[in-house]
Amino acid sequence: MSVRQSLLAILDQGPCYGYQLRSEFDRRTGSTWPLNVGQIYNTLERLERDGLVERGDADEKGHVYWQITDAGSAEVASWLSSPVVRGSATRDELAIKLAVAATLPGVDVAAVIQAQRRASLEQMQSLQRAQYTGADPHGPQQLAWSLVVDSMIFAAEAEVRWLDHTEQRLTRHSRHTMGLELATEHPKKGRPTLSRRDDPVATAER
């Protein structure tokens, strides 16, 4: 998630100081992605360096207000009009963990999957039981909160389905030796080159 663009989008509504920005971010995300004040100010300083925000003078209470520049508003408009691009490379910790576990001799991968499934189901049930505690149960903050929570529930449901699918695949391959012993050949420097047939991105394009 882009904290940078989110803070910029909030500043596009009007000048804010650091704690105010954190509060506004929480209001719009249901506090499901907590930010500390240090992260807020570090982001603001980078935005200032890039010419996207300007630092104002402190008020009588010592609050330093930050305001967006024209370049910052243009970046917000570009962010809102552009789709989120998912990376083609796999960086999901769970997928990597199971891929490695499935190739380690002597590892009970089924037990690894079962432990993860229990945790995923508990998370999904906890999210389904979650209740909005804001002042207005029908206001825009409730809507923003429910959008984020719904996304997390759907992600947990998808994870459980993927775990079921993975368990079935490993069961079908149980008659084969899945373990990979350490290779005896010395690896060559650099990454192995994938053919177009082996390239997951190229395969997806066909």
**CA separation for the pair 206, 197 (Å, rounded):** 10
Give tens-digit pLDDT for 46-88.
Answer: 999 999 999 998 899 999 999 999 999 999 999 998 887 766 6
- With 50 as the cut, is the pLDDT of residue 205 above it? no
CATH match of 3-81 with 1.10.3720.10: no
Contacts of 5 (CB under 8 A, 6+ apart): 75, 76, 79
For residue 131, which phi and psi values (nearest 5 degrees)? -125, 140
Q: Taking a C-beta distance cutoff of 8 angstroms, is the pair 107, 101 a contact? A: yes
Give the count of beta carbons closer than 10 Å to the beta carbon of residue 140: 11
**Mean of all residue pLDDT scores within the chain:** 83
Q: Taking a C-beta distance cutoff of 8 angstroms, is the pair 149, 32 a contact? A: yes
- Name the residue ranges covered by the structural domains of the chain: 3-81, 93-172
Give tens-digit pLDDT for 118-174.
Answer: 999 999 999 888 877 766 777 888 888 888 889 989 999 999 999 999 999 888 776
